[in-house]
Amino acid sequence: QKEVEQDPGPLSVPEGAIVSLNCTYSNSAFQYFMWYRQYSRKGPELLMYTYSSGNKEDGRFTAQVDKSSKYISLFIRDSQPSDSATYLCAIGMGNQFYFGTGTSLTVIP
Amino acid sequence: DSGVTQTPKHLITATGQRVTLRCSPRSGDLSVYWYQQSLDQGLQFLIQYYNGEERAKGNILERFSAQQFPDLHSELNLSSLELGDSALYFCASSPRGARTGELFFGEGSRLTVL
């Protein structure tokens, strides 16, 4: 079983839509929960991270963690064409980090 | 620009060959991570070094090896290459003592094995 499973997508939404991206993980020992964004032909860049259950907001982005269900989500409000990218969830403990396979998002103007 | 530099950006080679990928971490970052990204497997953790010492090992094949030098740059050596080794190889660095998952990735080295 993989440490983290991510809904594969791809997702295609109209500009302005709310986007929901989801992952589940297997081990309750994981401590950090992250979302990375990867544009085509670029390396992933950290978008958000959190340690605890609950919501963390940063502008149009909200990361949600439910440790009891081992479920993490990223919500994007008022999606923009510039949000078109692959989004990777990641979980970590200690020095080790595991990434989901990524969800490709296209926001159509 | 993340500050992490990877060379070469693209590499085409034949099966059975050996290649070396190079990574320079962000200034001041002591940790270097290597990841392999392929379409079907996503980002797979290979190995981590901290200040010259191996700290963690993931799904790294025995044909692959890595090291981190005193100037903190790192090299990933891939030998006896197979078609299935074709992938994007990313290096990432993290700030000293960071445990937040804040990895800064380079732009990757795209390896094609023919």
Of A33, A43, A88, the CB nearest to B2: A43
DSSP state at residue A83: G
User: Which pLDDT score, from 0 to 100, does residue B18 have?
Assistant: 98
Partner-chain contact B92 A102, CB within 8 Å? no
Q: What contacts 24+ positions apart, CB below 8 Å, involve B46-53?
A: B46/B76, B47/B76, B48/A95, B48/A96, B49/B74, B50/A95
Q: Tens of pLDDT along A36-86?
A: 999 988 899 999 988 888 899 999 999 999 999 999 999 999 999 999 999
Contacts for A86 with CB less than 8 Å, ≥ 6 apart: A37, A38, A39, A102, A103, A104, A105
Interface test with B, best of A46, A52, A58, A65 (most B CBs within 10 A): A46
The pLDDT-based confidence of A10 (bands split at 50, 70, 90) is: very high
Contact A43 B56 (CB under 8 A): no
pLDDT > 60? residue B86: yes
CB contact under 8 A, A95 and B107: no
Mark which residues 15-74 of A lie under 8 Å from B by CB. 31-34, 41-46, 49
Q: How confident is the model at residue B98 (pLDDT cuts 50, 70, 90)?
A: low
| Average pLDDT, rounded, for chain B | 92
**Which carries the bigger pLDDT value, residue B79 or residue B59?**
B79
